[in-house]
Copies of this chain bind each other. A is one copy, B any other.
Amino acid sequence: MFEARMVRGFIIKRILEAIKDLVSEASWDCSTSGMSLQAMDTSHVSLVSVSLKADGFDKYRCDRNLTLGMNLASLAQIVKAAGNDDVITIKAPDDADKITLIFEPKSETETWEYEIKLMNLDSEYLGIPETDYSVKINLPSHKFQRICRDLSQIGDSVTISAAKDGVRFSTTGDLGSGNVKLNQTASADKPDEAVTIKIEEPIILSFALKYLNHFARATALSPQVSLSLSKDVPLVVEYVIHDDDDDEIGYIRYYLAPKIEEGEE
Contacts and interface: CB of A to CB of B under 8 A. Distances in A.
Q: Which 3 residue pairs spanning A and B have beta carbons closest together?
A: A81-B150, A109-B183, A116-B176
Contacts of A176: 98, 114-117
Contact of A178 (B78, B177, B180): B78
Contacts of A150: 78, 81, 112
A156 interface: no
A110 B179 CA distance: 11
Contact of A113 (B74, B78, B110, B178): B178
Given A78-B150, A109-B183, A114-B177, 7 more contacts: A78-B154, A81-B146, A109-B195, A111-B180, A112-B150, A115-B177, A115-B178
Contact of A153 (B77, B115, B183): B77
A188 interface: no
A180 B110 contact: yes
Contact of A175 (B71, B177, B179): B71
Interface in A157-182: 175-182
A213 interface: no
A195 B108 CA distance: 11
Interface of A: 71, 74, 77-78, 81, 98, 109-117, 143, 146, 149-150, 153-154, 175-185, 195
**Most B Cβ at <10 Å: residue of A77, A150, A181:** A150
Nearest to A71: B175
A109 B178 CA distance: 17
Q: SS class of chain A's interface: helix, strand, loop or mixed?
A: strand
A145 to B, nearest CB: 12
Contacts of A109: 182-185, 195
A109 B175 CA distance: 26
Contacts of A74: 175
Contacts of A98: 176
**Most B Cβ at <10 Å: residue of A109, A117, A195:** A109
A30 B115 CA distance: 50
A260 B111 CA distance: 27
23 contacts: A77-B153, A78-B175, A81-B146, A81-B153, A98-B176, A109-B184, A109-B185, A109-B195, A110-B180, A110-B183, A110-B195, A111-B181, A112-B150, A112-B178, A112-B179, A113-B180, A113-B181, A114-B177, A114-B178, A114-B179, A115-B178, A116-B175, A116-B176
